[in-house]
């Protein structure tokens, strides 16, 4: 990759907290959490890169290192060629950080305009240039009419728009968006996605690193996605390629009436894997299964034969679909958890 806007190379970050324990002898114990464990990836200029991972995987920690807000224990990071550890002020000028759903980024008692003015001043912007920029951003986020209301009077979604405006005030080249659509209503979320796609990337050619727990947001926006777990990249690819890596194969949603234990056992052999099973709340005789199959044709035949082989059983419904990004996410993170447990 030639022009990398962001580089993480073998980043390690261990949080060390001192904790008072009353167990004998009562004293401070050191609790260590390895948030980043050799994290590496590169993001090209103008790319939208999705960083996905379970809670606690290390996404926010990564963003804080790239933004020059947190020093890693080892490894290197670069944003626009700048090392955020040795040159945090330069890095901060090139990077805009948006921590979704965290209202502490704004002063509650100040108005939207006053907040943006304050942040503009911190970045060394002032006068007409700043006022014009603030008007532009308020207009862009549909907040012109609420510009002079204090933040504590805003809904979560309105606050989120001002948080995003704050991250953009100094026109940064790289945007680190930590859950930018959290708390937004479906329409506002769609507007935010369209803004990221059209304005930030389409027109201004910014580089975007995005974290989210909403798979459809990641899928719609990202050119490539890294799934991380326990501070390491466990998969990195385009959204389509990742979907296919949900153990390859096909997902089958099946409903069977009067399925007994023996039938269910027959179904979980020969390349068929039961992902979930449960009985219908209103009709306990109806079992719903989600299966993953290596090969679709063999699986269909196997399910039909299994049901025919059990006298009372009846096949009610069978939907066949491609694995979704969510399937891939669950499969890959489960697999990495199992490997971690086996190596522990």
Ligand X SMILES: Nc1ncnc2c1ncn2[C@@H]1O[C@H](COP(=O)(O)OP(=O)(O)OP(=O)(O)O)[C@@H](O)[C@H]1O
List interacting residues with Mg ion (CB under 5 A): 59-60
Closest distance between ligand X and the C-beta of residue 103, in Å?
16
Q: Work out what residue 29 binds among ligand X, Mg ion, none; the CB cut-off runs from 5 to 8 Å by kind.
A: none
Closest distance between Mg ion and the C-beta of residue 180, in Å?
12
Q: Which is nearer to ligand X, 61 or 302 (CB)?
A: 61
Angle formed by the axes of helices 127-140 and 112-122, nearest 10°: 130
Please, which residues have CB within 8 angstroms of residue 124's CB and are 6 or more apart in sequence?
none
Q: Are 8 and 40 in contact (CB under 8 A)?
A: yes
Question: Interacting stretch for ligand X, rule CB under 6 A, among 54-62, 110-118, 254-262, 274-282?
Answer: 54-62
Please name the residue ranges forming H helices in 232-295: 239-244, 261-267
List binders of ligand X among 26-45 (CB under 6 A). Answer: 33, 35
Dist CA 225 CA 210 (whole Å): 9
Q: Judge residue 333's burial from the number of C-beta atoms within 10 Å of its C-beta, 0-12 exposed, 13-18 middle, 19 or more buried.
A: buried
Q: Judge residue 20's burial from the number of C-beta atoms within 10 Å of its C-beta, 0-12 exposed, 13-18 middle, 19 or more buried.
A: exposed
Q: Which is nearer to ligand X, 138 or 176 (CB)?
A: 176
Q: Which of 294, 250, 238 is nearest to 269 (CA)?
A: 294
Closest distance between ligand X and the C-beta of residue 192, in Å?
18
Q: Which is nearer to ligand X, 2 or 55 (CB)?
A: 55
- The residue from 1, 3, 10, 15 that contacts ligand X (CB under 6 A) is 15
Q: Work out what residue 35 binds among ligand X, Mg ion, none; the CB cut-off runs from 5 to 8 Å by kind.
A: ligand X
Binding residues for ligand X, rule CB under 6 A, total 12
Q: How many CA atoms lie within 13 A of 51 on its CB side?
A: 30
Q: Which is nearer to Mg ion, 54 or 239 (CB)?
A: 54
Q: Work out what residue 56 binds among ligand X, Mg ion, none; the CB cut-off runs from 5 to 8 Å by kind.
A: ligand X
Q: Which is nearer to ligand X, 15 or 28 (CB)?
A: 15
Report which secondary-structure segment, H or E, holds 30: strand 27-44
Closest distance between Mg ion and the C-beta of residue 211, in Å?
6
Three-state DSSP state, 213: coil
Q: Which is nearer to ligand X, 113 or 232 (CB)?
A: 232
List binders of ligand X among 222-241 (CB under 6 A). Answer: none
* Residue 60 in the binding site for ligand X (CB under 6 A): yes
Dist CA 147 CA 135 (whole Å): 9
- What would the two tokens of residue 120 be? 């503009």
The residues with which 79 forms a beta bridge, in sequence order, are 6, 82
List binders of ligand X among 271-330 (CB under 6 A). Answer: none
Q: Judge residue 134's burial from the number of C-beta atoms within 10 Å of its C-beta, 0-12 exposed, 13-18 middle, 19 or more buried.
A: buried
Three-state DSSP state, 84: coil
Q: Which of 335, 334, 302, 336 is nearest to 318 (CA)?
A: 302
Q: Give the distance from CA 44 to its chain's centroid.
A: 19
Q: Work out what residue 268 binds among Mg ion, ligand X, none; the CB cut-off runs from 5 to 8 Å by kind.
A: none
Closest distance between ligand X and the C-beta of residue 55, in Å?
3
The residues with which 236 forms a beta bridge, in sequence order, are 226
Q: Which is nearer to Mg ion, 36 or 299 (CB)?
A: 36
Q: Work out what residue 340 binds among Mg ion, ligand X, none; the CB cut-off runs from 5 to 8 Å by kind.
A: none
Closest distance between ligand X and the C-beta of residue 61, in Å?
3
Q: Which is nearer to ligand X, 51 or 251 (CB)?
A: 51
Q: Which residues bind ligand X (CB under 6 A)?
A: 15, 17, 33, 35, 53, 55-61
């Amino acid at each position: 990759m030639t022009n990398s806007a962001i580089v993480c190379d073998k980043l390690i970050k261990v949080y060390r907290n001192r904790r008072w324990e009353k167990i004998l002898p009562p004293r401070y114990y050191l609790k260590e959490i390895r948030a980043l464990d050799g994290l590496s990836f590169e993001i090209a200029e103008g790319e939208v890169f999705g960083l996905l991972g379970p809670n606690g995987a290390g996404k926010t920690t990564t963003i804080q290192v790239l933004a020059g807000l947190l020093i890693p224990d080892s490894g290197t990071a670069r944003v626009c060629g700048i090392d955020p550890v040795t040159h945090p002020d330069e890095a901060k000028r090139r990077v805009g950080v948006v921590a979704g759903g965290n209202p502490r980024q704004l002063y509650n008692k100040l108005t939207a305009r006053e907040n943006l003015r304050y942040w503009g001043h911190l970045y060394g912007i002032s006068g007409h240039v700043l006022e014009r920029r603030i008007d532009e951003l308020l207009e862009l986020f549909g907040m012109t009419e609420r510009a002079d209301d204090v933040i504590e009077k805003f809904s979560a979604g309105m606050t989120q728009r001002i948080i995003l405006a704050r991250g953009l005030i100094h026109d940064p080249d790289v945007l680190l968006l930590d859950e930018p659509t959290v708390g937004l209503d479906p329409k506002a979320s769609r507007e935010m996605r369209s803004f990221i796609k059209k304005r930030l990337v389409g027109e201004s050619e910014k580089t975007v690193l995005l974290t989210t727990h909403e798979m459809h947001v990641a899928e719609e926006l990202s050119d490539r996605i890294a799934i991380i777990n326990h501070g390491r990249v466990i998969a990195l690819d385009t959204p389509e390629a990742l979907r296919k890596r949900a153990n390859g194969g096909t997902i089958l949603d099946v409903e069977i009436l009067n399925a007994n234990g023996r039938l269910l056992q027959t179904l979980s052999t020969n390349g068929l894997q039961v992902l979930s099973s449960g009985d219908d709340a209103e009709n306990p005789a109806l079992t719903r299964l989600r299966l993953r199959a290596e090969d679709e044709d063999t699986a269909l035949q196997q399910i039909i034969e299994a049901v025919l082989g059990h006298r009372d059983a009846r096949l009610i419904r069978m939907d066949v679909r491609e694995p979704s990004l969510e399937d891939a996410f669950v499969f890959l993170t489960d697999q990495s958890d199992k490997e971690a447990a086996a190596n522990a």
